[in-house]
A and B are shown apart, each in its own frame.
Chain A
Amino acid sequence: MSAISASEKVDGFTRKSMRKAQKQRKSQGSSQYRTHTAPVELSPLPQLKDAPSTEQQELFTQKLQQCCMLFDFLDSVTDLKSKEIKRATLNELVDYVSTNRGVLVEPAYPEITNMICTNIFRVLPPSDNPDFDPEEDEPTLEAAWPHIQLVYEFLLRFLENPDFQPSIAKRYIDQKFVLQLLELFDSEDPRERDFLKTILHRIYGKFLGLRAFIRKQINNIFLRFIYETEHFNGVAELLEILGSIINGFALPLKAEHKQFLMKVLIPLHTAKGLALFHAQLAYCVVQFLEKDPTLTEPVIRGLLKFWPKTCSQKEVMFLGEIEEILDVIEPTQFKKIQEPLFKQISKCVTNPHFQVAERALYFWNNEYILSLIEENIDKILPIMFGSLYRISKEHWNPTIVALVYNVLKTLMEMNCTLFDELTSSYKADRQRKRKKTSIISSMADNISACNNECEFRGSRHLVLIIIIIWTFMLF
Chain B
Amino acid sequence: MTLKKITGFAKQEQIRNSSEIHGFAKGRRRSKLREGEGPAAAAFWQKPRSVAPQRHSVTATVSKMAGADGDDSLYPIAVLIDELRNEDVQLRLNSIKKLSTIALALGVERTRTELLPFLTDTIYDEDEVLLALAEQLGNFTMLVGGPEYVHCLLPPLESLATVEETVVRDKAVESLRKISQEHSPVDLEVHFEPLVKRLASGDWFTSRTSACGLFSVCYPRVSSTVKAEIRQHFRTLCSDDTPMVRRAAASKLGEFAKVLELEYVKSDIISLFTALASDEQDSVRLLAVEACVSIATLLPQEDLETLVMPTLRQAAEDKSWRVRYMVADKFSELQKAVGPEITKNDLVPAFQNLLKDCEAEVRAAAANKVKEFCENLPEDNREQIIMTHILPCVKELVSDTNQHVKSALASVIMGLSTILGKDNTIEHLLPLFLAQLKDECPEVRLNIISNLDCVNEVIGIRQLSQSLLPAIVELAEDAKWRVRLAIIEYMPLLAGQLGVEFFDEKLNTLCMAWLIDHVYAIREAATCNLMKLVEKFGAEWAQNTIVPKVLGMANDPNYLHRMTTLFCINALSKACGQEITTKQMLPVVLKMSNDQVANVRFNVAKSLQKIGPILDSNALQTEVKPVLEKLASDTDMDVKYFAQEAISVLALA
**Which chain A residues have a beta carbon within 8 Å of chain B's beta carbons?**
1, 4, 8-10, 12, 31-34, 123, 125-126, 176, 179, 216, 220, 223-224, 227-228, 263, 267, 301, 305, 465-466, 468-469, 472-473
Contacts and interface: CB of A to CB of B under 8 A. Distances in A.
11 contacts: A1-B478, A9-B518, A12-B481, A31-B321, A33-B318, A33-B319, A126-B321, A224-B244, A227-B244, A228-B166, A472-B23
A469 B67 contact: yes
A34 B319 CA distance: 9
Given A123-B319, A176-B280, A223 B67 contact: no
Given A12-B479, A223-B244, 11 more contacts: A1-B442, A1-B474, A12-B480, A125-B321, A216-B241, A224-B283, A228-B166, A228-B247, A305-B126, A465-B67, A472-B23
A8 B480 CA distance: 9
A123 B321 contact: yes
A8 B244 contact: no
A31 B357 CA distance: 10
Task: Please name the 8 residue pairs, one residue from A and one from B, whose CB atoms are nearest each other, closest first.
Answer: A473-B23, A4-B479, A465-B67, A33-B319, A227-B166, A126-B361, A123-B320, A469-B67
B519 interface: yes
A263 B204 CA distance: 10
Contact of A466 (B67, B320, B358): B67
Nearest to A470: B23
A47 to B, nearest CB: 35
Contacts of B166: 227-228
B519 to A, nearest CB: 7
A75 to B, nearest CB: 12
Contacts of A10: 518
Interface of B: 1, 22-24, 66-67, 126, 164-166, 204-205, 241-244, 247, 280, 282-283, 317-321, 324, 358-361, 440, 442, 474, 478-481, 518-519
Best-surrounded residue of B164, B283, B359 (most CB of chain A within 10 A):
B164
A361 B192 CA distance: 53
A459 to B, nearest CB: 14
B67 A468 contact: yes
B317 A33 contact: yes
B280 A220 contact: no
Nearest to B482: A12
Q: Name the prevailing secondary structure of the B interface residues.
A: loop
A4 B484 CA distance: 15
Nearest to B126: A305
A4 B518 CA distance: 16
Nearest to B169: A227
A1 B478 CA distance: 7
A267 B242 contact: no
Given A1-B479, A31-B321, A123-B321, A228 B24 contact: no
A90 B474 CA distance: 53
B358 A33 contact: yes
A179 B280 contact: yes
Given A220-B243, A305-B126, A466-B67, A34 B164 contact: no
Contacts of B361: 126
A227 B165 contact: yes
A210 to B, nearest CB: 15
A8 B479 contact: yes
A12 B519 contact: yes
A223 B206 CA distance: 10
B164 A227 contact: yes
B246 to A, nearest CB: 10
A309 to B, nearest CB: 9
A98 B514 CA distance: 71
B478 A31 contact: no
A9 B518 CA distance: 9
